[in-house]
Structure formats: structure tokens, C-alpha cells
Amino acid sequence: MNFKKSDISFIISLIMILIVGINCTPKNEKTSANRDPMEDDIEYSFIHMNEYLPIKTIEKAEEPFIFPRIENISLPTDFIHSGTTYNTLQYIDSSYTQGFIFIQNDTIKYENYWRGQKEDVEHISWSMAKSYISALFGIAIEEGYIKSINQSVDEYLPELEGSGYGGVKIKDILQMSSGVKFDETYSDPQSDIQQYWVGFVSGESQDEFAISLINERTPGTYNKYVSMDTHVLGMIITKATGRSLTDYLQEKIWQPIGAEFDAYWIVDGKGMEMALGGLNACLRDFAKLGRLYLNKGKWKGKQVVPAAWFESSISSTEEHLQPESNNSSDQGMGYGYQWWTLDGDEGEFLAMGVFNQHIYINPTTNTVIVKNSANKNYYDSDNPYASTKTHIELYRRLAHIND
């Protein structure tokens, strides 16, 4: 599959965004006169990925589901996180939001777009796509294509025998506990995620990259976020079902949940979807995955995602998956099957992608919130407008808007 000749400058731009890291902006903000134009480019690229990379289209539903809606409410004036009060509208703007939707009791209470995104414009999901892969995996098990998550990866993918994934249980991969050595430091040009991305945009095989990885610790003992784990799950789905991720998603999820718009997946030079983060969709259709999971995998009375799989997906069972475990590289948040879990007694969970992409679900208040962003400050750890935890407090404030 060939890349468009006009894509070279874009590809170089995306590579450089990742290599230099958005967080390299000094704490004393740059003036507009000496801003790096690369930082402005992600607002455009995140909603135009199909202009630069090969894709596979996911067709909209024949019978779209339309959320009931009311006139946009006035959002709460402010919210608090860690003792600091933030103005809500300023926070949404300063985190470079492109699309924001707040749904409660199945009704859209607020929906808005900025920075080029519109209701019918697809936005890249980044790692929110991992939660879609999880749903497809559960469906493939229910349909008998995959026998058990206690099987080893190489039972389905013999080509991974001898790699870091050889002998690893599927369950450990689902829970980001594969033990595979993988550096996901975006600011390091030599990191694994950088090498993966450079290869992807150059059209190289993601499968071959997965084969090249090695093990660094005992699987199932430590929660470490490894994006390639999700690619391996995608490899298993395609091998077991004999279908592409695009086709399987369209039939098993996109059509049943009544997607209003076409979506697409960016693919590598071999035609394999970027399972770990390459799904592009419109805001309300992202929200429909939230609604599906808010209803425990059921849509209009039909169990789309198996109920038992849903429960396991949003449960942080083993000790190393707990939010405060010392055996986790992401303390403060728990992990299930490609879904993040939160502390508290309201059962909140979310799909999350780099640059502040979120599908937040609160079953206690019957709330779904989706945010698409192109946050140029995402890698600045001191910037509260890039903080996932601060975002979560904004969502909690909205979820309890009537309290």
C-alpha cells in the first residue's frame, strides 16, 4: 500500500512532534513571534489524518442512532482539583479542546467544537482505540474464534515464538502486564515508541516490529503501559477471525450502535490497522461506545459486548493493576482489559488517548463525556491543563452538576 507523495512533509512533521516532545516548550511561554509552527500543525493533522496516510473506511450504520438533546446548558463556572480552582471554559480552551460532549441520562446536554473540528469531522482517537480492540476481543471469544485469555499468544501467532511475547498469556497482554521491554518516552528519539512510529509512517510492518521486541520481566507481575501489546491483540483478532479489524468493527460494533458517520482506521504499508491508536471517528460516535459500556455492553436490549467481558474489562483485579500498587508504572489509576479505572465508589472508568482524548463513563450518575484535543502542552508534566487527573475532576464536576 503506497503513501501519497505529498505526504512527506506531513510525515516528517509528525515524527518531529513526537521526537522533540510537546513538553519542550519552556515554562516561560513562547511569544507568538517565535512559536514553533509545528505546534500549530497538530490541530489540523488530528482531524485530517486521511489526507496523509492510507486508511480503511468503516461505514456508518444503515439506521443511525440519534441522541436526544436539549439546548446547550451553561457549564459550571469552575471546578476544583488539588485545592486549585479552575475556570471551566478557560480550562477547556487552554487544554486545546477540539470537540466536547456531555451526555447525561441519555440526553446531550452540551456539545461544542473548536479548532477546525465539526460534528461530521473525524478526529484521531489515539489510544482510545485500545478500548475498541478490547470490545472486539471479547466478541471474538464469545463467537468461539478465540478459546481463552489464558492461552499463550503464540498459540495464535507462532511467528511471535522466540520474541518477548513468546509464551505470554493473552490475559497479561490485555492488562498491560506482558513483561515486554518497551520504552514509551515520546521525547526520546531512540525510544521504542519513536522507532515504531517512524516505521509506521514509512509504511513498515507493525507485525515485524512486534516480533523484534524482547522480554524484561515476568509477565503478569507488573503493570506497564506498552502500546504494542494492543497491536498483538489486533493481530490475534485478525488471525483468529480471518477478518480485518475494520470489517469486524463495522459489523460487530459500528452498525449495532448506530454510528451516524463513517469512520476510518489508518493502516501501515501492509494494510494492517494501527490497532493501538489509529481509529478516527466523529465525536458523537465516540460517545456511543461510552453509552454501550454505560449499559454494560447492551444496546437496545441486545448484548453487543458480552456482559461477563464488560465486567472483567473495567475491573482492576490483580494487585499490580490497582491504582496505588507499587507494581505499576501508572500509579493513581487502575487498569482492566484496555480500560482505565478510577478510585472512588462511583464505578468510573475511561478510555484515554495521548494529547487528552477521553471517553469518561460514570454509571452512578448515568454520564458519558467525550473530549477530543490537540494539546500542545501534553508532555509538560507541570501544566495542569494537560493533566489527566485535572481533566477527571472537570468530568466529575459535570457528572454531579445537579447535586
Distance CA 258, CA 195 (A): 37
Higher pLDDT, 22 or 385: 385
Distance CA 239, CA 232 (A): 10
Q: How high is the pLDDT of residue 41?
A: 86
Share of the chain above pLDDT 90, in %: 82
Q: How high is the pLDDT of residue 19?
A: 39
Q: Is residue 31 predicted with pLDDT exceeding 70? A: no
**23-37, 58-72, 317-331: which has the highest mean pLDDT?**
58-72
Mean pLDDT over residues 157-185, rounded? 96
- 74-126: pLDDT as tens digits: 999 999 999 999 999 999 999 999 999 999 999 999 999 999 999 999 999 99
Residue 354 CB-half CA count within 13 A: 21
Radius of gyration of the chain (CA): 20
- Nearest Cα to Cα of residue 178 among 233, 237, 134, 138: 233
Q: How high is the pLDDT of residue 331?
A: 82
| Residue 25 pLDDT grade (very low, low, confident, very high; cuts 50, 70, 90) | very low
- Let me know: does 391 contact 358? Beta carbons within 8 Å: yes
Mean pLDDT for all residues in the chain: 90
Mean pLDDT over residues 63-67, rounded? 97
Helix (H) or strand (E) holding 15: helix 8-20
- 316-341: pLDDT as tens digits: 989 999 988 999 988 889 999 999 99
Q: How high is the pLDDT of residue 14?
A: 53
Mean pLDDT over residues 53-57, rounded? 96
- Let me know: does 130 contact 276? Beta carbons within 8 Å: yes
- 205-244: pLDDT as tens digits: 999 999 999 999 999 999 999 999 999 999 999 999 999 9
Distance CA 215, CA 164 (A): 4
Mean pLDDT over residues 9-23, rounded? 45
- Let me know: does 63 contact 258? Beta carbons within 8 Å: yes
- Nearest Cα to Cα of residue 100 among 229, 283, 276: 283
- 172-194: pLDDT as tens digits: 999 999 999 999 887 678 889 88
| Residue 13 pLDDT grade (very low, low, confident, very high; cuts 50, 70, 90) | low
Q: Is residue 372 predicted with pLDDT exceeding 50? A: yes
- 196-207: pLDDT as tens digits: 988 999 999 999
Q: Is residue 21 predicted with pLDDT exceeding 80? A: no
Q: Is residue 398 predicted with pLDDT exceeding 90? A: yes
Distance CA 113, CA 116 (A): 8
Q: What are phi and psi of 102, to 5 degrees?
A: -125, 115
Q: How high is the pLDDT of residue 322?
A: 93
- 283-316: pLDDT as tens digits: 999 999 999 999 999 999 999 999 999 999 999 9
- Nearest Cα to Cα of residue 141 among 172, 171, 165, 176: 171
Share of the chain above pLDDT 70, in %: 90
Q: How high is the pLDDT of residue 317?
A: 86
Q: Which residues pair with 351 in a beta bridge?
A: 359
Q: How high is the pLDDT of residue 352?
A: 97
Q: How high is the pLDDT of residue 332?
A: 86
- Nearest Cα to Cα of residue 133 among 49, 241, 222: 241
What is the pTM (predicted TM-score) of this model? 0.91
What is the side-by-side order of every strand in the sheet holding 55-58?
55-58, 263-266, 279-281, 123-124
Collapse the DSSP code of 391 into the 3-class scheme (helix H, G, I; strand E, B; otherwise coil) and give the result: helix
- 338-356: pLDDT as tens digits: 999 999 999 999 999 999 9
Mean pLDDT over residues 396-400, rounded? 98
Which letter, b or e, does each residue of 121-148 get, where b requires 16 or more Cβ atoms within 10 Å of its Cβ?
A: bbbbbbbbbbbbbbbbbbbbbbeebbee
